[in-house]
């Protein structure tokens, strides 16, 4: 007779498939053994795609990258104990960024909790406010398989959010009792598994009302849109085109499109003639202090989205979604023309060396490709030079918490999901050296797990340059700066990347970078290109 833990694990896999989960990331362990075996057997029967990673943090961010590109929940599974704690950063990022994610943690039975059992911590409500919901399964028995299937359905529904709540992470804690292997030698159970159900989409978010943006009525005001939210890129394009408003679209927003996109906007914001009557922000904003000052000085600030985003305490109105403005008249054409003229002047100025290399990398991208941006200095270089792509370019960034956690893994996950839909597409990840090293385990990929065709372009300045632009970079902190802010690592990133099995080499100029990216596209697999900016 099949043991209860195996029965429940198989029921859970069935529930995943019925709920539209076709991508699962697994971090190996003993306590999650029943589920690991069931998932591997289901993957062997081509019922789902399984990704195996030895580092739980990298595993969780890989799942997040997959979910972000698919706009659908992905599950990540780990064993009991502190392994589960490594999901915490990804849980926060998913919930803050509105990405549906299932965190499935195996656990000891309740009878062993608080008794000093190995690899046992209190996993109930482990992630606190980082998740939308926490679910605790009952201890496995042969009579509870339907309950475990339903548990997945409940979790998926919660992860999608609703008309007023963003999608996010949901935690499912599963106590498994020994024995932790099937014992029946049977893999034929997979014959009864359903195909992956059609993915369920997030609830329709009602459009806002134009009066929330401009309550006084009358002529259309001079406005500006600032966006970091890729889920509303289509709305932004239609809204801006109708009103004749410039769009300051962060890299990763997917909204750097058409004639309304102002691609060198950081250099335009100081012009007092471009001060808007109203600024509309979507998602998190203000990568730089100049953008924050621009929003603060606008006549009226309207935030759009299901989550309240008001870091400057300037929001006068909050709308769930941009309104339909198809019947409104556009603002005078001179407004957008003035922004475009200032943009052209900014584009003519020579960029810094890191920004120039960033521009060279982005210039190699083709329609249908994917770009993933790293945080910190890297996204700020891209903010200065990223072009206005056409409407089939896909771009992302972990903008929920703006951390450097898991960026390599997130980018790989997004690339894997993107190439499911566009098999011949290429993916580019732009990131700094510390960000690369912080998730170097993202390159530790088990042999049977799928690998995308992509290049990781690492801007290597031997430490954290972002702090040089902040108060910490002032001369009075010079003696302390290197050790506690700059943190030079003095490591050969090419050798490290090769040690993880990636193709890797160093470039020193734009021509070599372009050539290396061309080779990466032709070679396939994961390629690491280290741009030497150490000076």
**What CATH number does residue 281 fall under?**
3.40.50.1220
Question: What is the pLDDT at residue 375?
Answer: 93
For the chain, the maximum distance between any two Cα atoms, rounded to a whole number of angstroms, is: 78
Q: What is the pLDDT of residue 141?
A: 59
Distances (CA, A) of 497 to 436, 502, 529, 530: 10, 6, 9, 10
Residue 202 lies in a domain: no
Looking up residue 130, the CATH number of its domain turns out to be: 3.40.50.970
Q: What is the pLDDT of residue 392?
A: 64
User: What is the C-alpha to C-alpha distance for residues 18 and 375, in angstroms, rounded to an integer?
Assistant: 36
Crossing angle of helices 353-362 and 377-385, in 10° steps, is: 70
Backbone dihedral region for residue 20 (phi beyond 0: left; psi -120 to 50: alpha; all else: beta): left
Q: Is residue 197 part of a domain?
A: no
pLDDT per position as a tens digit, 281-322: 999 988 888 999 999 999 999 999 988 899 999 999 999 999
Contact 28, 36 (CB under 8 A): yes
Pair 368, 403 in one domain: yes
pLDDT over threshold 70, residue 70 = yes
Alpha-carbon distance of 281 to 286, in angstroms, equals 10
Q: How many CA atoms lie within 13 A of 342 on its CB side?
A: 22
- With respect to residue 127, please indicate whether it lies within any of the assigned structural domains: yes
Q: Which region among 146-160, 351-365, 497-511 has the lowest average model confidence (pLDDT)?
A: 146-160
pLDDT-wise least confident of 3-17, 80-94, 497-511: 3-17
> For residues 393 and 268, what is the distance between their CA atoms, to the nearest angstrom?
25
Give the whole-angstrom CA distance, residue 246 versus residue 459.
30
Mean per-residue pLDDT of the chain: 92
Q: Which pLDDT band, with edges at 50, 70 and 90, does 121 fall under? A: confident
The reply to whether 201 falls in a domain is: no
Give the pTM: 0.95
In this structure, of 151-165, 338-352, 398-412, the range with the lowest mean pLDDT score is: 151-165
* pLDDT tens, position by position, 246-295: 999 999 998 998 899 999 999 999 999 999 999 999 999 888 889 999 99
Pick from 161, 179, 197: which residue ends a domain?
Answer: 179
CB contact set of 141 (below 8 Å; sequence gap of 6+): 4, 8
Q: Is the pLDDT of residue 144 over 60?
A: no
Are residues 517 and 430 both part of a single domain? yes
Residue 207 exposed, middle or buried by CB count within 10 Å (0-12, 13-18, 19+)? middle
Q: Is the pLDDT of residue 479 over 90?
A: no
- Within 10 angstroms of residue 296's Cβ, the number of other Cβ atoms is 13
**Helix (H/G/I), strand (E/B), else coil: 471:** helix
pLDDT value of residue 473: 66
- 153: how many CB neighbours lie within 10 A of its CB? 14
Nearest-angstrom CA–CA distance, 288 and 95? 23
Q: Can you tell me the distance from the alpha carbon of 304 to that of 273, in angstroms, rounded to the nearest whole number? A: 25
| Confidence category of residue 20, pLDDT binned at 50, 70, 90 | very high
Q: Are 126 and 171 in contact (CB under 8 A)?
A: yes
Task: State yes or no: pLDDT of 418 exceeds 80.
Answer: yes
Q: Is residue 198 part of a domain?
A: no
113 vs 259, more confident: 259
Q: Is the pLDDT of residue 482 over 90?
A: no
Which of 329, 347, 365 marks a domain boundary?
A: 347
Task: Say yes or no: 397 and 320 in one domain.
Answer: no
**Which pLDDT band, with edges at 50, 70 and 90, does 471 fall under?**
confident
Q: Do 293 and 323 meet the contact criterion of CB atoms below 8 Å apart?
A: no
Whether residues 343 and 357 fall in one domain: no
Please say which residue of 318, 347, 376 terminates a domain.
347
Could you tell me where the DSSP H helices lie in 313-388? 333-347, 353-362, 377-385
Question: Which of 36-50, 161-175, 388-402 is least confident?
Answer: 388-402
Q: Is 321 a member of any domain?
A: yes
Same domain for 343 and 358, yes or no, is no
Containing domain of residue 334, as a range?
A: 210-347
507 in a structural domain:
yes
Residues 340, 361 within the same domain: no
User: And the tokens for 161?
Assistant: 């959010």
Same domain, 392 and 489: yes
Q: Please indicate, yes or no, if residue 310 is contained in any of the structural domains.
A: yes
Looking at the fold, whether 341 and 362 belong to one and the same domain comes out as no
Shared domain check, 515 and 452: yes
Residues 145, 115 share a domain: yes
Phi-psi region of 163 (alpha: psi -120 to 50; beta: other; left: phi over 0): alpha
Q: From CA 234, how far away is CA 227, in angstroms rounded?
A: 12
Q: Are both 423 and 511 inside the same structural domain?
A: yes
27-36 residues labelled b (16+ CB within 10 A) or e (exposed): bbbebbbbbb
Distance CA 392, CA 390 (A): 6
Please give the tally of structural domains in the chain: 3
**Do 307 and 368 share a structural domain?**
no
């Amino acid at each position: 007779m099949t043991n209860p833990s195996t029965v429940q694990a198989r029921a859970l896999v069935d529930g995943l498939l019925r709920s539209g989960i076709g991508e699962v990331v697994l971090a190996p362990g003993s306590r999650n053994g029943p589920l690991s075996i069931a998932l591997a057997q289901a993957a062997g029967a081509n019922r789902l795609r399984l990704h195996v990673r030895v580092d739980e943090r990298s595993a969780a961010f890989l799942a997040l990258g997959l979910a972000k590109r698919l706009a659908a929940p992905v599950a990540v599974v780990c064993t009991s104990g502190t392994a589960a704690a490594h999901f915490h950063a990804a849980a926060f990022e998913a919930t803050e960024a509105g990405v549906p994610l299932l965190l499935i943690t195996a656990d000891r039975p309740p009878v062993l909790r608080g008794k000093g059992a190995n690899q046992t911590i209190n996993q109930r409500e482990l992630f606190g406010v980082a998740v939308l919901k926490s679910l605790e399964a009952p201890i496995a028995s042969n009579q509870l398989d339907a309950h475990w299937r339903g548990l997945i359905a409940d979790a998926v529904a919660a992860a999608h959010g609703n008309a007023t709540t963003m999608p996010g992470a949901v935690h499912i804690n599963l106590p498994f009792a020994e024995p932790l292997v099937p014992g029946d030698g049977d893999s034929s159970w997979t014959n009864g598994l359903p195909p992956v159900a059609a993915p369920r989409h997030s609830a329709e978010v009602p459009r806002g009302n134009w009066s929330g943006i401009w309550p006084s009525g009358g002529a259309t005001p001079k406005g500006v849109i600032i966006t970091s939210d890729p889920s509303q890129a289509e709305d932004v394009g239609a809204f801006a085109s109708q009103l004749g408003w410039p769009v300051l679209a962060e890299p990763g927003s997917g909204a750097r499109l058409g004639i309304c996109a102002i691609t060198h906007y950081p250099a335009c914001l100081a012009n007092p003639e471009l001060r808007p009557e109203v600024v509309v922000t979507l998602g998190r904003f203000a990568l730089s202090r100049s953008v924050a000052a621009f929003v603060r000085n606008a006549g009226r600030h309207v935030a759009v989205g299901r989550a309240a985003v008001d870091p400057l305490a300037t929001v006068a109105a909050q709308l769930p979604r941009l309104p339909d403005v198809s019947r409104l008249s556009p603002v005078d054409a001179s407004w957008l023309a003035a922004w475009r003229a200032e943009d052209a002047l900014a584009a003519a100025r020579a960029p810094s060396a890191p920004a120039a290399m960033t521009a060279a990398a982005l210039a190699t991208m083709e329609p249908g490709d994917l770009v993933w941006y790293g945080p910190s200095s890297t996204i700020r270089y891209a903010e200065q030079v990223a072009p206005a792509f056409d409407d089939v370019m896909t771009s992302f960034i972990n903008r929920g918490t703006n951390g450097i956690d898991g960026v390599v893994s997130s980018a790989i996950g997004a690339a894997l999901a993107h190439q499911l839909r566009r098999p011949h597409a290429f993916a580019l990840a732009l990131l700094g050296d510390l960000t690369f090293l912080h998730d170097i385990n993202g390159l530790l990929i088990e042999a049977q797990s799928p690998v995308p065709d992509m290049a990781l372009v690492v801007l290597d300045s031997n430490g954290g340059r972002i702090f040089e632009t902040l108060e910490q970079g002032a001369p009075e902190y010079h003696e302390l700066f290197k050790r506690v802010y700059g943190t030079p690592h003095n490591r050969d990133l090419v050798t490290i990347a090769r040690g993880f099995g990636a193709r890797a080499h160093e470039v020193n100029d734009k021509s070599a970078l372009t050539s290396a990216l061309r080779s990466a596209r032709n070679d396939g697999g994961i390629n690491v290109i280290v741009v030497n900016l150490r000076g």
